[in-house]
Chain A
């Protein structure tokens, strides 16, 4: 057993209201620079929809992620020789217009305009060419289905056998906030010709070294989630950093911190790095999720803790893993699922699938529907979160429904519902964590991930950087 620590995130989609606060705060912190205007390390998509960049889930087009051929795991983008040839022109690299052309407005005209019969107008101007432009697409153009035109292009819909017409009476939607998944088996790391992308041993954060990156841009198509971006100004790759300077000090990522729906959970999990490759190789796509759960180890087990200590993981991290809210949601209750496990990158941002409004036909008969009769088709959620296995989705949603039933019965002083999977007390804990958990309960990060002891930090306190000339201490 080769135990490594990973900072993992869970998003409770049941509570996401699609407000884009995570995207905006992330943008203000990380990508409001020249060359990065078009980047959203975190974005929120409406599903069904084609997302950002357009049709990112269409791996026939982008060849992102991994595939298994004859039991061997390889990047879909091709063998090493094929990839070397793609250095000169990469057929699968998305271009600017697959995202959108970033723009600003001529605000000056609002102030400097001479007296006219009509109000002055601030017209859009491209941030790339600095010329006037017509806005044809933006980072969130298909928000809230936007008339349904692009929603019908969603590849997940096309894969579902049953006919989903998106007629008004059975239309559905949900939000999907996305940032880098900091995968256990990251395709971007494997694809980088320069070896510039790496997974941090301490916390599993995947980073691009801006000094080692040579701009060969192979990471961008290789990432099936399209979460590595090409900076047109520095000509190097950039991606979500999981706000590692904050993590190192025990603070959550900016998107987690500012989420108004409080949907994000952040914590440590311990996993067996030796089992990563065999898990990614799992023959049947539908078995990737259950196998991935086996890779995540019980942090309270003495055996796991001993292996963690042997691997040099600090006590603070082990302690954080023991009380990790994400471990409870991912493994103990199995409420959260990985996004597109069939890409085989083993993502470490997990999603609690959303319940959805009860259908009109059911409304008069029951208090809560069962998981099959909700508005969002199980098959659609299964395409997103379980490689098409509707049983997993039904089971997960049923647990959320059971939790609601248990709490309602408690509220009206009635006997708890029958045929429950867990003890009643367990549902109450689930309710506390999903429903009313405060900041400190949702986020359990060890301070001092940066490897400085309390005493060392105290020495630096008040020195305003002078104690450490050049920052090399």
Chain B
């Protein structure tokens, strides 16, 4: 069972992510939008929207650093475990607070304002549930780990190499054996999120308008 969860499920999730995204983009771009609700409720978005997205960007960046940069590289750079920990928490705690408070304010706005109902689909409801669980387990895991309740567990020696082994297509399931339950829950939530990603409003993050910086002001187009 754990072989399936840590050896196969990640591949299933990422396959659905890639194939699903490509499928939706090529067959159903008309539904591909930010699904912005600012038009329906402007005031309550002012703080919450940017706060949530900033927290999300910081948290995502932290995950990329924590997972993709191997420990021997930071060790080589003279950053010992203690210093790394301080740096990670210095970025991670504000990120977590922004992310979580932003999410809370957005949910309050979404389910507190009757007008927002027309902007909230059933799929959105599931998405917010899974997103909440992912953020909550993530914050909790970090808090428990930082306070030492989980003992001398180090994700950079277990989860990170496991994830990198997935990228090499040689999954090392044994690395996940002694990972605390809260981290496992966080990973399961994240995999669910990745799986449903192509079918939710989250796809708008792939449309971040980079090309906008390089194009002409006025576009003429022939039929």
Contacts and interface: CB of A to CB of B under 8 A. Distances in A.
Interface string B209-223: 101110101111111
Interface in A347-373: none
B178 interface: no
Contacts of B39: 93-96, 217, 230, 232
Contacts of B41: 95
B209 A217 contact: no
A84 to B, nearest CB: 8
A89 B209 contact: no
A96 B38 CA distance: 9
Interface in A199-217: 199-202, 210-217
Nearest to B28: A211
Contacts of A212: 29
B212 A193 contact: yes
Nearest to B216: A190
Given A89-B38, A89-B46, A215-B34, A80 B217 contact: no
A84 B209 CA distance: 8
A224 B207 CA distance: 26
B42 A235 contact: no
Chain A binding surface SS class:
loop
B218 A194 contact: no
A211 B30 contact: yes
A280 B115 CA distance: 40
B219 A128 contact: no
B121 to A, nearest CB: 11
Interface in B33-60: 33-42, 45-46, 49-50, 53
A431 interface: no
A125 B219 CA distance: 41
Contacts of B215: 195
Interface string A409-453: 000000000000000000000000000000000000000001100
Given A95-B39, A96-B115, A213-B33, A202 B222 contact: yes
A210 B115 contact: no
Contacts of B32: 214
A388 interface: no
Nearest to A129: B114
A185 B204 CA distance: 28
A214 B34 contact: yes
Given A190-B217, A211-B29, A230 B115 contact: no
Of listed B36, B50, B115, residue having the most chain A CB within 10 A? B36
Interface string B184-223: 0000000000000000000010010101110101111111
Instruction: Give the top 6 A-B pairs by smallest Cβ distance, nearest first.
Output: A193-B209, A215-B33, A190-B217, A95-B42, A198-B221, A198-B219
Interface of B: 29-30, 32-42, 45-46, 49-50, 53, 114-115, 117-119, 204, 207, 209, 211-213, 215, 217-223
24 contacts: A84-B209, A89-B46, A94-B39, A95-B39, A96-B115, A129-B114, A129-B115, A186-B218, A189-B217, A189-B218, A195-B215, A199-B221, A201-B220, A202-B222, A210-B30, A211-B30, A214-B32, A214-B209, A216-B209, A217-B34, A217-B39, A233-B118, A235-B36, A236-B30
Given A128-B115, A210-B30, A217-B36, 19 more contacts: A4-B220, A80-B213, A84-B209, A90-B38, A189-B218, A198-B219, A198-B220, A199-B219, A201-B223, A202-B222, A213-B33, A215-B204, A216-B34, A216-B36, A234-B30, A235-B36, A236-B30, A273-B220, A451-B223
